[in-house]
Structure 1
Amino acid sequence: MNKWNLIINVGRCENCQNCVIAARDEHVGNDFPGYTAPADANADSPIRILRRVQGDAHMVETTYLPVMCNHCDEAPCMKVGGDAIRKRADGIVIIDPDKARGRKDIVKSCPYKAIVWNEELQLPQTWIFDAHLLDQGWPQPRCQQSCPTEVFETLKLDDAAMAEKARREGLKVLRPNLGTKPRVWYSGLERWETCFISGSVSAQVADVVECVKDASVALCVGSQKVAETVSDGFGDFRFGGLARGSGLYRVEIQHALGNASGECELGESVHLGEISLVQVQNGVEVT
C-alpha cells in the first residue's frame, strides 16, 4: 500500500518560518474532529526550525533544520500512548484528541521533541501531516504549500519504492540508531551532522599580499592523506563531511609561490584563517 512520506532538503531552508506560520494558521483555534483539537496559540509550535552555525569569519556556514513529527512506523509515542494514538494505513500518526486528554507523559515519549503540550485543553498535540487536508484531496500539506524555497517534497509510495528512492538519492532520517523508522526523510542531512575544515591561502608577491588560486591542499591524518582540493580565486579551500570530534588534522599546501601547513583539533568546524606561503631554497626560507 502507498504511504505518505515527506522529504526535507536541508540546504534550501532559509529560516523564513513560513512552514511554522502556516501550521499555526491552520490549527490555532480551528477544530478538526477525528484529527486534532484546536491548537493553543500560547503553546510551542509542533514544527520548529533548528539552527547550527559553523566556522569563523570569513568562512561561516549557517544551516537550518526543520523538525516535526516523523510519523514513525515504530513510534515511541504509540508504545506509551496505547489506544490514545493510532497509525493510519497510509502511515500517518494521529493523537486522539479525546483519549489523549491529560496524557502529558506522551509529550516526553517523543525523542524528536515533536509533541507539544496544549495547557488550555490539557492535551498532547503534534503535526498531523495535515491529514485532514490530504483526505480532502490536497496534494501536499500546508508546510510545503507555503515554502518559497521548495524545502519540502510530499510523496505517496509503497515502502519498497520509498526505500529504493532513499538509497538512490542518499536520503537519511534523524537519529536512525533509535530504530523508530521515520517517514520524514532528509536530503543533505550531512550538512547538519558533519563538520568542515577551511582556510585561506595567501602569498606576498613583490610588496603586495595576494590571494593564491589553484594551490594544492591536502588534508592529512597522521601520515595518511585523506582528501585533497585546490584553493579558489579567493585563496579559499574547504574540506567537508568530517565527523565531529574526530581528532587531529593537518593541512599541507603546495604552490609555485611556496609551501605551508597548519593543523587543528576538530571538535566542531574549524576555519584556520589566512595561511601564508613560504618560499624555501636549499632548506632556507626566502623572505
Structure 2
Amino acid sequence: MRRADPEMVRRNCEQQSAKTEMRMKVFVFDLDKCNGCHNCQVACKDEHCDTSWLPYAAEQPDTGQFWCKVDEEVCGKVPHVRVHYLPHLCNHCDNAPCIAAAPDAVSKREDGIVLIDPKSAHNSEALVASCPYGAIFWNEELGIAQKCTGCAHLLDDGWKEPRCVDACCTGALRFGEEEEFESAIAQAEVLMPEAGTAPRVYYLNKPKRFIAMTVVDIEADEVVEGADIVLQRISDEEVVARSMTDEFGDVWLEGLEPDRYRMWIRKGGYLDLSAEFDLSEKDCSVPEMRFYRVPTAV
C-alpha cells in the first residue's frame, strides 16, 4: 500500500532536502537470496503508474516500461538446470552517459541518485540510446524520457529506502549509505564494467558458469557412483576443480570462469574418459556421459 501522498511530497521536498545531510547511496543486490517473486517490480509499478511525483517524475505508463525489472535466465538443460534472477534498474552512475547526453535535463543529486527532470526532458529521445544498460525509456504520450528515480520523492519525505527495496521479502535488495555497505561492495560486481560508467548498483553472488553431467555405464545401463572428476583449464593445464559423482551419477562443477576446459573421469574397472568444454558463451550440460568398462580378457 502506498504510504506517501503526492501533494505532501511536493509541499515538503525542498524543506526536507535542506534539512537532510546528503550521503552517497548505493543499491546492493544479493542474487543468492532472490527467489524471483517480482515483488520489487510490482512495487515500482504500484508507486509510479498513474501517479505523478513532480518534480521528481511524471507518471510511468502502465505498459512498455519497467524502471525495476527482474530478468529470469534458465541455464543448462534438463536434467541439469539452474534458474537465475537478475534485477535491473538505473545504475545511478557517477560517470553517467545520460548526463553527458543531456546536461540540462539530467542531474546527479548529492546522495548519488540520478534524476531526469520531467519538465526539461521533452524532445530528449536521444537519452534512451545514451544508457548502456537500457534503463531509460521513452514515453511517447508525454514526449519525455523516463527512468528509475530511486524513489527520491520518498527518501526526501523520510523513507529509508525505495519501494522496490521495501517490498523485497528475502532481503536480496538493500539500499543505504555507501559506508554501510563497504564490506559488501568489496566483494560485489557491477554490470558491464567495461562501460566505464562507475555504477552505484552492486551485485553479490552473480552466477558464474557451470558444467553438469550424469555419468552412465552404458553397458550395464546404470549410473556410475564415485567416479573421480578432475577439471583442467586447457590454456595452462591448471587443475581448477575436483569432485566425484554422487549416488545418482551426477556431478556439478560451479563457479567457473568463461574459458575452455578439459575434464578427466576415472574409476577402477573403467577406461579413463576425457572431454572438452567451452564455457566462453554459456554453461554446459551433458545428460548422459558414457563410461565404458575395461575389456575383459577372453
Normalising TM by the smaller chain, what interval?
0.7 to 0.9
- Separation in 1 of the partners of 2:277 and 2:59? 50
- Separation in 1 of the partners of 2:129 and 2:196? 17
**In the alignment, what sits opposite 1:94?**
115
CA displacement at 1:87 relative to structure 2? 0.5
Query: 2:144 matched to 1:130?
Result: no
CA displacement at 1:12 relative to structure 2? 2.9
- Determine which of 47, 52, 59 is the counterpart of 2:68: 47
- Separation in 2 of the partners of 1:48 and 1:285? 59
- Determine which of 222, 225, 238 is the counterpart of 1:209: 222
**In the alignment, what sits opposite 2:250?**
236
CA gap of 1:264–1:56, structure 2 versus 1, over 3 A, is farther
**In the alignment, what sits opposite 1:175?**
192
For the Cα contact (< 8 Å) 1:250–1:262, is it kept in 2?
A: yes
The one-letter amino acid of 2:285's match is H
Query: 2:288 matched to 1:263?
Result: no
Encode CA deviations 1:95-150: one digit per residue, 9 max, x unaligned: 01101122111111100000111111111111111111111221211111222232
Once the two structures are superposed, the pairs formed by residues 1-287 of structure 1 within 5 Å of their partners are 2-158=23-179, 162=181, 164-167=183-186, 170-189=187-206, 191=207, 194-203=208-217, 209-212=222-225, 214-222=226-234, 224-244=238-258, 246-247=259-260, 249-256=261-268, 258-266=270-278, 267-280=281-294, 284=295
- Separation in 1 of the partners of 2:296 and 2:58? 74
Query: How big is the alpha-carbon RMSD for the aligned residues of Structure 1 and Structure 2?
Result: 2.4
CA gap of 1:54–1:274, structure 2 versus 1, over 3 A, is same
CA displacement at 1:211 relative to structure 2? 4.5
- Separation in 1 of the partners of 2:212 and 2:289? 10
Encode CA deviations 1:248-283: one digit per residue, 9 max, x unaligned: x32212234535424234142111222344333xxx
- Separation in 2 of the partners of 1:53 and 1:286? 46
Greater strand percent: which structure? 1
Aligned length: 273
The one-letter amino acid of 1:275's match is M
SS of 1:63's equivalent in the other structure is: strand
For the Cα contact (< 8 Å) 1:29–1:38, is it kept in 2?
A: yes
CA gap of 1:273–1:42, structure 2 versus 1, over 3 A, is closer
The one-letter amino acid of 1:199's match is M
CA gap of 1:120–1:225, structure 2 versus 1, over 3 A, is same
Identity of aligned residues (%): 33
CA displacement at 1:165 relative to structure 2? 3.7
- Separation in 2 of the partners of 1:217 and 1:147? 39
CA displacement at 1:224 relative to structure 2? 4.5
CA gap of 1:286–1:61, structure 2 versus 1, over 3 A, is farther
SS of 2:153's equivalent in the other structure is: helix
CA gap of 1:33–1:208, structure 2 versus 1, over 3 A, is closer
- Separation in 2 of the partners of 1:29 and 1:35? 14
- Separation in 2 of the partners of 1:276 and 1:108? 49
The one-letter amino acid of 1:6's match is F
- Separation in 2 of the partners of 1:137 and 1:286? 81
- Separation in 1 of the partners of 2:70 and 2:64? 16
CA displacement at 1:155 relative to structure 2? 1.7
CA gap of 1:162–1:149, structure 2 versus 1, over 3 A, is closer
The one-letter amino acid of 1:64's match is Y
